[in-house]
Structure formats: C-alpha cells, structure tokens
Amino acid sequence: MSIPPPVPTPVSPAVVGRLAPSPTGLMHLGNARTALLAWLSARSQGGRILLRIEDIDTPRVAPGGTRALQEDLAALGLICDEMDAGSPCLQSQRRHLYDDALTALARQQQTFLCSCSRADLMRAPSAPHAADEGPRYPGTCRDKAWPQVLQEAKQAGKSAAVRFRGGQNVRFVDGLLGEHEQLVDDFVLRRADGLHAYQLAVVVDDGLMGVTEVVRGDDLLSSTGRQVALARCLGFAPPAHIHVPLVLSPAGERLAKRNRPPTVRDVFARGVAAETLIGAMAASAGLCPPGTRTTANELVADFAWTKVRRTPVVIDPITLQSYQA
C-alpha cells in the first residue's frame, strides 16, 4: 500500500492592509482610532501595511496636511511599510493610472459622459442619497450619444463628467458587519472639473498596491458595492472589507473635520503621552481595560476582531474616557 502524498496546507496570501488618510485637515480621534485598528489587523496577521495619502481632491487639501498626517502617525507608533524608498504614496502623482483605468472602462462600455449639473440633479424627482452624497442620479445622460453630451456641456460652458454604468447588484461580506447587498448606481468616476473621483482612485490604488484588506470607518460602507463592482471590471480581486463604527462627539455627532473635532495634536498639546492616547483608543474598541497605557506594538499579539466592539462609541476629548453611544 502506498502512502498518499501529504495534502498541502493552503497558504493564505499575505495580508496587505493600508492607511488611506485624506490631508484635508488634522487627524482627529476617530481617524486615529480607525488607523490603529487597520494597523493592528494587518500586523497581527503578519501582514504589511501601506500608507497612501489621498490628496486627489486638490482644492480640499490643507497646506502641510500630508506632513502633519505622517508626523501624527509616527507619534502614535503606527509605522507603515514604505512603498517608494521612504516617500509616501500620493494620489496626486498617480493621475495617469486613473486615466488608464478610465480608458479600460470606456473600452468595456462601462462608462458614459454626463453633462448634468448638481442643480439639474437636485431638481430631478428622485430620493436623496445618504447625507453626504447628494441626490441619486436619475440616469439623464445614460443613453445619450457622447457627441450630444459634449455639445450640451459646451453650451452650458462646462465639461462633461464621466460616470460608471451601474445597475449591478453586488454582495459582499463585511468582516464586522456581515453580509450586504448593494445596488450600484451610476456614480461619478471623473468630475466635470477634470478631477478623478475618490471611488476610482481608491479602487485603482488598492488594486495596483495589492491591498487585500480594507479597514475604514463605516461611513464608507455605502461606497463598498460600487468599489467591488469597479474592481471586478478592472480585473482586480476585491479586498476584504471591515468597516468600523465611528467615534462620536459627546453630543452624539459624527466626528467630521468640518466640525473641528478634537485632534491628536490637541490631545498631545495638553501633555498627554502617546501611550495614554493609544490605551484610550484601544479601550474604546474593547481591546484593553480603561486606563491602560500601552503602545500599538504591544497590542499586536492580543489583537482579534472578535474582541472589537461593533457599536459607535463616544470618546471624551478631555478625560479620554469612552462609553457606548
């Protein structure tokens, strides 16, 4: 009797996570807590974590914002694997890659031109989208020939936007929030002002950088179906997604940069040590008892998503105590 050959143990491809902050303002406690969880997830699986600065929306980039983000991440001990010999990956330097992706999508007839202004869309009788996303696109230009759309845009004294041809139903399983099904809309890939949209840039970059795991705030859950559909069209394996609940202010509001929420720098400026802040953020996620002083590195060994709270928390910016929202 011959001995059967050993069954090879499947080797899971190495985890590649990423931090993808936008330098539109200083890092607040919510951004920092999500970055900590993304970093811990990748490191605890022996994976790599890449830093990509999402400065694609140039008019919103804060002067010195990129450097401030890098300094804050370093102060928190969230050290990333450098992509290009020490220089961060900047979306603003990757526009040619987004153009290539637009060309590939156009060849597949996955795009169409659109001359609608925001005011046109506001007037259209359709249900509004989630608060930040504006009205749902009613399909006005979907079936028009592109010369007609260009002509209409020219008459209105502007350029046409490029939209993704949506309509697909996408299912994905979120690592914390479970199974989701989303109907993909005709979202914008390149704006009328010529800037590439976040949805396009994020998918192209995650794909080309070999990102296998996306950990981010659950305000981006509603974008995930679009991004999975886009990744598939571009021939990228969609990454695993884990959306973490947001940190809320004591008044119960989401921490958004426009509301000037407490930043990592505000906390450090009061003389709080990085170990205290890391401990407070980890405690707010359920990873250690309140009052623990620790470092990101020390948290790696015991990190598990099963321990992470699935509900929004409030972190008091002064005491750094947290409680369920």
Site for ligand GLU, rule CB under 6 A = 20-22, 54, 202, 216, 220
Residues 6+ apart with CB under 8 A from 63: none
Backbone phi, then psi, for 6, in 5-degree steps? -60, 145
Please name the amino acid found at residue 163: R
Contact between 244 and 282 (Cβ < 8 Å): no
At closest approach, how far in Å is the CB of 220 from ligand GLU? Answer: 5
Residue 220 CA: distances (Å) to CA of 67, 130, 267, 286: 24, 11, 26, 22
CB of 35 to ligand GLU, least distance (A): 9
**CB closer to ligand GLU out of 112 and 190:** 190
Q: Between residues 20 and 282, which has the closer beta carbon with respect to ligand GLU?
A: 20
Closest CB 90 distance from ligand GLU, rounded Å: 12
Closer residue to ligand GLU (CB): 21 or 88: 21
Closer residue to ligand GLU in complex, CB, 22/66 = 22
Report DSSP state, residue 254.
B
Q: How far is the CB of 126 from ligand GLU (least distance, A)?
A: 26
60: which residues sit within 8 A by CB, 6+ positions away?
A: 22, 24
* Helix 29-44, helix 274-284: angle, nearest 10: 80
Nearer to ligand GLU, 54 or 72 (CB): 54
In what helix (H) or strand (E) does residue 182 lie, and over which residues does it extend? Answer: strand 178-183
Q: Which is nearer to ligand GLU, 184 or 202 (CB)?
A: 202
Phi-psi label, residue 104: left if phi above 0, alpha if psi -120 to 50, beta otherwise: alpha
Shortest separation between residue 31's beta carbon and ligand GLU, angstroms: 7
Neighbours of 228 (CB within 10 A): 22
Q: How far is the CB of 80 from ligand GLU (least distance, A)?
A: 14
Which of 97/150 has CB closer to ligand GLU?
97
User: Strands 188-190 and 161-164: what pairing?
Assistant: antiparallel
From the CB of 219, what's the least distance to ligand GLU, in Å?
A: 8
